[in-house]
Amino acid sequence: MKKLICFASLFILFASVLAFGQTADVVGQLADETGALLPGVTITVRNVDTGMVRTTFTSERGLYSIRAVPPGNYELTAELEGFETITLTGLKLTIGATATLNITLRIAAVREVITVTGETPLIEGTQSDISTDIPQQMIENLPLLGRNFVNLALLAPGTGVQTTFDPTKERDGDMSGVSFGASSGRENNVMIDGGDNNDDVVGSFLQFFPQDSIQEFEVITTRFKAEYGHTVGGVINVITKSGTNELHGGFYTLHRPDSFTSISAISEEAGAEKEMRVQHIYGGVLGGPIVRNKAFFFGNIDYTKQPKTIPVLIAGYPELNDIWGGNFDNSFSQNLVVGKFTAQPTEQHFLTGRYGYQKDAKENSQVGGTYTVERGGPEENIYHSMLAKDTIIFNPNTLGEVLYQYSTFVNKIDYDETITVGINTPELNTGRNNNLPQRTDQIKHHLRYDQSYHMTGWGGEHDWKVGFEYQNVLIKGFLGSDRDMGPRYSLTWYDTDDYLAGMYPDYASITYGWGLAPAPGDGDLYTLYSWYAQDDLRLTDKLTLNLGLRWDWENGILGERRHFASDDVLGKPDSDKNNFAPRLGFAYDIYGDSSFVIRGGWGMFYQQVVNNLLLWLDPLDVEGGLPSGTIDYPQWGQADIMAGQVDWSQYITVPVGPPTPQDIYYIYCIAPDVEIPMFQTASIGFSKELPYDVALDVDYVYQRSDNPMIFYRHGDIPLPWTGQSWEEMGLYYKCRVAGNLGRNRYQALEVAARKRFGHNMMMQASYTLSSNEGFRDRELSTLLYDLTYSDWENANYGPIFGSRTHVFNIGAMFILPYDFNLGLNLGYGSPFAFSIYSYEGGDMDGDGFESDTMKDHKAGQGRGADFKNVDIRLTKSFSFADRYNVRLFFEVFNLFNADNRSPRRWIDQWESPEFNTGTIVLGVAREAQVSVRFEF
């Protein structure tokens, strides 16, 4: 607490930061008709909706720069004594954009004022990053599955559909995130109004915001500046709406009756009944002035109710499906609230305050596919976030901003604790779920400080930005429970037929204690410190260098943290403090008018390590570890097995006291030399303006890492109770170490085309041809072949699980006659990569487990399902009294009911009769909904 007070005092004292990518910049050059540069020209930009004004002057080279301008509709005025005054109107500034507006002034004997309708350039001539801006028109008019704004990022090149890896993020149909380049959806950096919106336990975005509260959406996929960190994936910048001088609002309702939904191919193939998928959404928005031209408010309330069921299908085994299959209650409800205050009390200060609230409730979380209803439990999630910031204009060339955000997240998933035994086969997962019950609390303080200033000299025009960031995250539970659950048993058969025949399980484990992990009362404190400096150096009128340096230090996983018994095995890892990340980029504007720009660069980026890495260490602190009990072979009957009526616990002898080495299922450790994974990224490409307001972007991107984090088995580690190593005891396979091992390589050709609104249409399209290879088969997983296997390095290296070679996406909006509007989303992904396992193929690497991939297939050689999707929205508008508007829309998701299956629960065992089949839907089977909106 003393640290927080100290940092808060420091922030108040300095009180200056920049808007951290949540704003736009306006730059340009002034000249007369002869081409002579004009210094001293007064440049003024004014927001036509709020009256906000910013002013600066041109330098000796006629250059000007106005930074940190809130996105919106603007006009720009250029004034100089003896010259005409020009006002450019109709300027739309978007999030993260740098608008280059060069102006020519004519000599005028008397004062003349000329108003010209202008547009911001399609291409940024001074930036080297690869970014995509999704304008508000698309946010409001494109069909958006689950109203999840994160899915808008799929319109950018270099992105891919990310399946659900955390039940708290699951919306509709196992599509809850997006991956970038070589990374997974865990490793992105999502910011709302400049505040951190990332889940520090499992990764990915944290809090959900209603679609109607989103004003601008920017995706930076590659080569982002030094102000951005904690990610080797991409950056998602979102700003919420603000009020204006006019009072605007509305009410809306969306409905999806069950008759508007189709059966999935998975259910249809199994002869099952269609699951129920009903949805009702009610909401309202209101925004306007508190004091005209000074202070404004905006609010959005959104409520969702989904009475629905989820199918459980035991494919290939009708006798098991008769017992455990069916459609089970999976009802979901959500409450969302957003409130925002903005004000400009003086020309030197722009204030923002924002509050966000979310509450979710769901029945039978973690159920579906081969996971029966016994595996699930009721889930509840509650989020709060409060953000405050002040942008300060010290003078035309110097500004800053102070930002503070406080957020909390409580996740609870309960469970029927009378179920003590879990049964697992390739086609069936029933009984005890050792991941439940669980509760995770996250309490986060986020502080930022930057300062930005413009100067001339040292070789050109400089736009500097320097700052630091501090995050303090208290995490309680680490997916743990707040009560002692006693022993829980997990039995696994590699072959479902062996289970049906009543044969001895292939292995068994016993978990003791507090749910999945202990829940210490004080929790675990995770802190993050960052410093960065960025210089956008305009060497000539055509050449700009983007130079940056960043330093990150994460403390709480490595370095200072509470002691685990597992630290006694290898020793406690040291802090990793040498994470310096230089960034170098260039943009060359060939003609000087932003119509054809060549760009490229190189940079180093450090991954933020998700905190559930510590989850694997916790069980060793509970009753000495995860021991395997002795199982006496029983003579049970097949009918009792199938009906789940066997009391497995009576056949398991629970070890008393510290477990013997033979009893321990696994022991987890963190390598003492572990470090934060680092990726290097290089890119080269161009942007070209084409006729009809179209811009084409083409880039080659290369990423590499030589220290990814992964689990591997290690034999030369002493067991605390014996002093002998695992290898000496012949138990090499029982020790798993989290450390840096292997390599990742990603290269891609990324192509994007975008059309600004005109000729009654707007469009954003992207295509990515990529190769993504490495050692990571699944997140936080062990190697497929361990170090005892003679060719382990080549055998483990291959296409990353879930990666696709070809990805194409397009979003488009068309204005039709009679006030109709058509929104369209098209998506395609080629078959994803996965590794083929052969549980009956033997122990290929000598680690004691017959679960390696087949000898004929190294990692990632399997190919799963492709992804095809078409979503449409048709809107009809009715306007009256010049102020009121009623919109009716009808939208369909997965129009052609494509059979899209998720990689997350893919049957990858060669011997299974259902091999190379998915058991849950990716996206949704075809469904439609209708909506009515009243706006004023």
Contact 216/194 with Cβ under 8 angstroms?
no
Lowest-pLDDT range of 42-46, 245-249, 672-676, 786-790: 786-790
Is omega for the bond preceding 437 within 30 degrees of 0, making it cis?
A: yes
Q: How would you classify the pairing of strands 377-395 and 398-413?
A: antiparallel
The answer to pTM > 0.85 is yes
Distances (CA, A) of 340 to 193, 198, 388: 10, 20, 10
Name the burial class of residue 633, with classes exposed (0-12), middle (13-18) and buried (19+) by CB atoms within 10 angstroms of its CB: exposed
pLDDT in tens, 547-580: 999 999 988 766 666 666 566 666 677 778 899 9
774 Cβ neighbours under 8 A, 6+ residues apart: 182, 705, 708, 742, 743, 744, 745, 797, 800
69 DSSP 8-state letter: E
Q: How confident is the model at residue 652 (pLDDT cuts 50, 70, 90)?
A: low
Checking if the pLDDT of 750 tops 80, the result is: yes
3-state SS assignment for residue 604:
strand
Contact 925/895 with Cβ under 8 angstroms?
no
Checking if the pLDDT of 469 tops 90, the result is: yes
130-935: in CATH 2.40.50.100: no
pLDDT at residue 6 in the model: 44
pLDDT in tens, 48-74: 999 888 889 998 888 898 888 888 899
One-letter amino acid for residue 234 of the chain: G
Q: How confident is the model at residue 742 (pLDDT cuts 50, 70, 90)?
A: confident
pLDDT in tens, 597-615: 999 999 999 987 776 666 5
Contact 857/835 with Cβ under 8 angstroms?
yes
| φ, ψ of residue 435 in degrees (nearest 5) | -85, -5
Give me 774's structure tokens. 């490495």
Give me 525's structure tokens. 């404190």
Instruction: Note the CATH number of domain 2-117.
Output: 2.60.40.1120
Checking if the pLDDT of 663 tops 70, the result is: no
| φ, ψ of residue 136 in degrees (nearest 5) | -60, -35
Q: What would the DSSP string read from start to end of 159-190?
A: EEEEE-SSGGG--STTEEEEEETTS-GGG-EE
Among 750, 654, 652, CA closest to 701: 750
Select, from the ranges 21-25, 158-162, 480-484, 733-737, the one with the highest average predicted confidence (pLDDT): 158-162
Residue 42 parent element (H or E) = strand 42-47
pLDDT at residue 498 in the model: 82
Core vs surface per residue 406-445: b (16+ CB within 10 A) or e: ebebbbbbbbebebbbbbbbbbbbbbbbbbbbbbbbbbbb
| Neighbouring-strand partners of residue 385 | 356, 407
The beta strands (E) that lie in 111-261 are given as 113-117, 130-134, 159-163, 175-180, 189-192, 195-196, 214-222, 235-240, 248-256
pLDDT at residue 18 in the model: 39
How many Cα atoms are found within 13 Å in the side-chain-facing hemisphere of 339? 5
pLDDT at residue 558 in the model: 67
CATH 2.40.170.20 in the chain: give the residue spans. Answer: 130-935
Q: How would you classify the pairing of strands 349-365 and 626-627?
A: unpaired
pLDDT at residue 751 in the model: 97
Contact 211/241 with Cβ under 8 angstroms?
no
End-to-end distance of the chain based on CA atoms, in angstroms? 47
pLDDT at residue 110 in the model: 60
Q: How confident is the model at residue 352 (pLDDT cuts 50, 70, 90)?
A: very high
> How many helices, marked H, and strands, marked E, lie in the chain?
8, 55
**Cα 574–579–581 angle (5° rounding)?**
175
Q: How confident is the model at residue 883 (pLDDT cuts 50, 70, 90)?
A: confident
Give me 710's structure tokens. 């992964």
Q: Would you put residue 735 in left (φ > 0), alpha (ψ -120 to 50) or beta?
A: beta
CA distance 885 to 936: 6
Distances (CA, A) of 135 to 155, 432, 646: 12, 47, 59
One-letter amino acid for residue 763 of the chain: M
pLDDT at residue 932 in the model: 97
CA dihedral 588, 593, 594, 598 (to 10 degrees): -30
Give me 783's structure tokens. 């190697």
Segment 508-521 shows an average pLDDT of 51
Contact 131/701 with Cβ under 8 angstroms?
no
CATH 2.60.40.1120 in the chain: give the residue spans. Answer: 2-117
CA distance 177 to 236: 11
| φ, ψ of residue 266 in degrees (nearest 5) | -65, -50
pLDDT at residue 596 in the model: 96
Segment 32-36 shows an average pLDDT of 89
Checking if the pLDDT of 855 tops 60, the result is: no
CA dihedral 114, 117, 120, 122 (to 10 degrees): -130
Contact 308/257 with Cβ under 8 angstroms?
no
Average pLDDT taken over every residue of the chain: 83
573 Cβ neighbours under 8 A, 6+ residues apart: 558, 559, 670, 671, 672, 673, 674
Among 672, 673, 866, 679, CA closest to 776: 679
Q: How confident is the model at residue 921 (pLDDT cuts 50, 70, 90)?
A: confident
pLDDT at residue 9 in the model: 38
Distances (CA, A) of 514 to 57, 436, 511, 650: 64, 10, 9, 22
Question: Tokens 């488009």 — which residue?
Answer: 812
